Structure 1
Amino acid sequence: MTLSRIKWDAVAIAVLLLLVMALCVTVKLQSSSKALLTLQNEQLKQEKTSAEAITTNVLRATALFNDIAQATHDDNQASNSESEGRVVIIRQAIKGDPCAAQPVPAAAVDQLRANRNKVRSGATGTDTGKPAG
């Protein structure tokens, strides 16, 4: 077979068919790759939205805890200020009383401190379970 006897039309058509098939395979691969990337993009958007919601909720909870802590701190400071005022009034009231100079028994001090701690912690309630009277 010589070069002159080869049918160049058939060779050109075969080459074109191979080129078209290669292009079809490339387009199919690109299409499936694009579909996969689109799916991953949607999943990432959902994860981002979820993460933003969680972050927002954490920030709100933190702000709420900070508000509660600030209110508790303010209440404690107000309570301490009231106590200091009471101490001054009591000291002025018992200033000349000779009995006030006597030391308080340790058992009484311990009971008073326990009661104070109970009141401060909120452990005492208004409902004692006993009827009034």
Structure 2
Amino acid sequence: MSHFDATRDEVLALPFHRACELSVAHAEAGVCHTRFPVNAFTRNPAGALHGGIVYALLDVTCFLAVMTQLAEDQHAVTIETHTSMLRAASDGEQVEIRARVDRLGRTLAAMRAEVFALGEDGRERLIATGSVTKAVLSGRKR
């Protein structure tokens, strides 16, 4: 099992991520797409996707994107994140977060992501954008 596969499995097994029904839809070098439904756990009292869920899962998706490029003895921790909510996603819709690594340096990684609501008709609506900066830590066996 690759370093990324082990990390992905560990991340997806966390109780919060299981409750969100988070899954990895796609991953390759410097890129990760995750999906989850707007459900009883991820929606707010108004029946729309909770912004805090987007904030948290955008950070997770960026983490997975950078982990596709890190060595086995490296790890990444968030030092800054920014999320802008643009519009709502409704109960029952699928949400996809598409993250990519813009720059990976020796000690810092910069990522950005877009969040889409996926309609049953196949159409996508951009609902949020965000950026994450992570510190890259070396010499740490996970």
TM range (shorter): under 0.3
TM-score w.r.t. the length of structure 2 is 0.20
Greater relative contact order structure (CA < 8 Å, 6+ sep): 2
* Bigger Rg, which one: 1
TM-score w.r.t. the length of structure 1 is 0.21
